[in-house]
């Protein structure tokens, strides 16, 4: 249905239009309402219009070849999406669905020409929206390279987890073994020699301290093992992504090789036909 002229005046894209121009454009622009979770269009659908969010919030996303969802952006009131449909006749490059109940203004090519004809500055707004989307896509592409599991886990570690990793690493070192050996030897020698009998045989206090030390060390070691298990899980995910990318790349190479093979065979057939024709002459 036609849009409300007062709705257009509140959006940045149409803010430069006067009242009469907003009324004229409102008669051409259609309004679409979407419930939360409703899909507006999917990647691969024919693109015939662009949209301006009047109310609500829309999510624009793509799905990679591994089947994972990549969110490109979220559009709020006044923001534009689907503008690539105005520049060509190709299919949609992304999907869009409503995060909440939303109201959209739908502009087809004729509506856009009318808008730009009235206010050429609107074209700069559209170019700005396209540039922002391109920058976000570039950032996502840089982030989609193979990740370092150690760095990814390190970024999410709390101070307690870092301390647990350090204690677990230190408790498995030769320095820790020598330190405990010197401590136990000095404790036993002081009590046996009679220099300072603060814990006589059978060294009950030393036994309790060693037991407590073993309990705490086992907890810290378990915490460190949990961190390692999480790191292994991330590494498995990364290896899966790499394997999928490698498989797709190999399939692409097979297609290229097959295209080259077909091209060579086609050329050989033409050469053979040419030679046969010359032989007949």
45: domain CATH number?
2.60.120.10
Domain end position, chosen among 127, 143, 159: 143
Rounded percentage of the chain residues whose pLDDT exceeds 70: 69
**Which residues are CB-contacts of 78 (< 8 A; sequence separation ≥ 6)?**
11, 12, 13, 52, 53
Report the relative pairing of strands 39-41 and 95-98 from DSSP bridges. antiparallel
Residues 13 and 126 in one domain: yes
Residues 135 and 162 in one domain: no
77-95 average pLDDT score = 75
Instruction: Give the up-direction half-sphere exposure of residue 133: CA atoms within 13 A in the CB hemisphere.
Output: 23
pTM score above 0.75:
no
Residues 258 and 181 in one domain: yes
For the chain, give me the number of helices (H) and strands (E)? 8, 8
Tens of pLDDT, residues 200-219: 888 888 889 888 988 888 88
What's the domain range around 161?
149-280
Domain count, the chain: 2
65-87 average pLDDT score = 74
Residues 195 and 88 in one domain: no
**Which residues are CB-contacts of 69 (< 8 A; sequence separation ≥ 6)?**
61, 62, 63
């Amino acid at each position: 249905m036609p849009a409300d002229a007062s709705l257009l005046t509140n959006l940045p894209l149409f803010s430069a239009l006067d009242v009469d121009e907003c009324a004229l454009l409102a008669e051409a622009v259609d309004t679409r309402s979407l419930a939360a979770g409703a899909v507006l269009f999917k990647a691969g659908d024919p693109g015939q219009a662009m949209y301006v969010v009047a109310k609500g919030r829309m999510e624009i996303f793509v799905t990679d070849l591994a089947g994972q969802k990549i969110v490109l952006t979220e559009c709020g009131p006044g923001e534009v999406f689907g503008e690539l449909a105005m520049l060509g006749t190709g299919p949609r490059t992304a999907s869009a669905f409503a995060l909440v109940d939303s109201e959209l203004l739908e502009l087809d090519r004729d509506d856009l020409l009318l808008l730009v004809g009235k206010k050429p500055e609107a074209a700069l707004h559209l170019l700005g929206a396209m540039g922002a989307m391109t920058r976000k896509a570039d950032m996502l592409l840089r982030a989609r390279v193979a990740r370092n599991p150690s760095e990814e886990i390190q970024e999410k570690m709390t101070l307690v987890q870092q301390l647990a990793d350090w204690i677990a690493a230190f408790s498995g070192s030769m320095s820790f073994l020598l330190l405990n050996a010197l401590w136990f030897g000095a404790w036993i020698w002081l009590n046996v020699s009679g220099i300072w009998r603060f814990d006589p045989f059978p060294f009950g206090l030393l036994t309790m301290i060693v037991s407590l030390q073993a309990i705490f060390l086992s907890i810290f070691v378990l915490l460190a093992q949990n961190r390692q298990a999480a790191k292994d899980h991330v590494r498995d995910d990364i290896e899966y992504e790499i394997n999928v990318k490698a498989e797709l790349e190999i399939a692409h190479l097979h297609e290229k090789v097959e295209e080259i093979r077909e091209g060579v065979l086609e050329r050989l057939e033409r050469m053979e036909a040419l030679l046969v024709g010359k032989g007949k002459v």
